[in-house]
Amino acid sequence: MSLIKEVPRLAAKYAVACPGQGYIRPQGYLTPYKQYKKEISPILEEIDESLGFKFTDHLFEENPDTNNVFFRHTSNAQPAIVATTYVIHQLYEQIYGVNLAKGASFLLGHSLGEYSALLLKGSLTFSQVLQLVRKRGELMEKMFPSEEYGMYAVNLRPANFEKVLEIVQGLGVLANINGKFQLTLLGPLDSVEESIKDLTNQKLIIKGVKLPVTIPFHSSVLAPIESHLLDLVNLFPKFPEALPDPPYIVSNLAGHTLGPDTLTEIGSTIAANLKPVQWLASLENLLRDGVTQVLCLGPGKPVHGLVLKSGLFETFYVDADA
């Protein structure tokens, strides 16, 4: 019996959503899939070859303390989440004979997840994406070696959404617009915690939940890494100039699709490091385009929770923990 549940019915027009950073699977990202090691061995070999060491040993590590230390480093967490997302997608096809990405009308990813979306579309190869997100993480760590930055998911009532959004935009601590029920705040830890305290005292938010992230994602302070990532992309062997057919990528930066030009899509994904994730706008555009179902690949349930709580779509969670 498979650990991955089959989606009972695929809608005529569905989207596939990929997760970002913020979740560490305590028992190891790929440990739930160890019974499939033989089937996924070519993928595991490509992971290790692309990253230059036995990275996959860590994906099957079952010690929570070891994992918490290793995957607290964003240079490790980013390739781990992309690799696990890809493994789940490929295993689903092996087990059920359905390529979820190929049948989708749209692909989207929350923050880091947009790199997984580029991979599933075929804009970049598996090896290229692994190298890109590993480099992305290393550059971030080099710029911010200490833990002076913090990220919080802030839950709020939809009635307070506009007011809270205006306040946090003014304070310069907005990272993600996840929905009218949740924003993500990021910045110097003291500033973010003070902002949350003030919002709580004004009874504008329900609570803030600290996330396992110490890098200022989606902030203008990351501007120096953009050119380094584009330089790496330019070193890659030629990739498709345009992929005009579905699935289309929904941009974190714009909140809508950008067209078939591959370099435009890649450039937008890299530029999204500097500005808030327009997740709410992305979901609203899917709805306007006639999407009725969103499939959320693992690992972890944060993205599934955001889609589910939006109330806009039928949604299914595709991972071993379902």
Taking only the tens place, the pLDDT of each residue in 136-190 is: 999 999 988 777 888 999 999 999 999 999 999 999 999 999 999 999 999 999 9
pLDDT band, residue 258 (cuts 50/70/90): confident
Arithmetic mean of pLDDT, 238-256: 86
Arithmetic mean of pLDDT, 72-100: 97
pLDDT band, residue 86 (cuts 50/70/90): very high
**Predicted local distance difference test score (pLDDT) of residue 321:** 67
Condensed to tens digits (0 to 9), the pLDDT of residues 98-127 reads 999 999 999 999 999 999 999 999 999 999
How large a percentage of the chain has pLDDT more than 90? 83
Residues with Cβ within 8 Å of residue 145, at least 6 apart in sequence:
none
pLDDT band, residue 260 (cuts 50/70/90): confident
d(CA 116, CA 81): 9
Arithmetic mean of pLDDT, 63-71: 95
Which residues sit opposite 316 in a β-bridge? 295
**Predicted local distance difference test score (pLDDT) of residue 66:** 96
| Mean pLDDT of the residues in the chain | 93
Is the CB of residue 216 less than 8 Å from the CB of residue 172?
A: no
Q: Using the predicted structure, report yes or no on whether residue 240 has a pLDDT greater than 80.
A: no
Q: Using the predicted structure, report yes or no on whether residue 2 has a pLDDT greater than 80.
A: no
Smallest CA-to-CA distance from 41 within 25, 59, 18, 16 is with 59
Arithmetic mean of pLDDT, 37-45: 97
Q: Using the predicted structure, report yes or no on whether residue 95 has a pLDDT greater than 70.
A: yes
- CA distances 190 to 58, 157, 173, Å, are 33, 24, 11
Domains of the chain and CATH, by start: 14-143+219-318 (3.40.366.10), 149-210 (3.30.70.250)
HSE-up (13 A, CA, CB side) for residue 262 = 17
**Burial level of 235, CB count in 10 A (0-12/13-18/19+)?**
exposed
Arithmetic mean of pLDDT, 54-79: 96
Q: What is the pTM of this model?
A: 0.94
Identify which has the larger pLDDT, 239 or 148: 148
Arithmetic mean of pLDDT, 3-30: 93
Condensed to tens digits (0 to 9), the pLDDT of residues 198-237 reads 999 999 999 999 988 888 889 888 899 999 999 999 999 8
d(CA 322, CA 305): 12
pLDDT band, residue 92 (cuts 50/70/90): very high
Identify which has the larger pLDDT, 296 or 264: 296
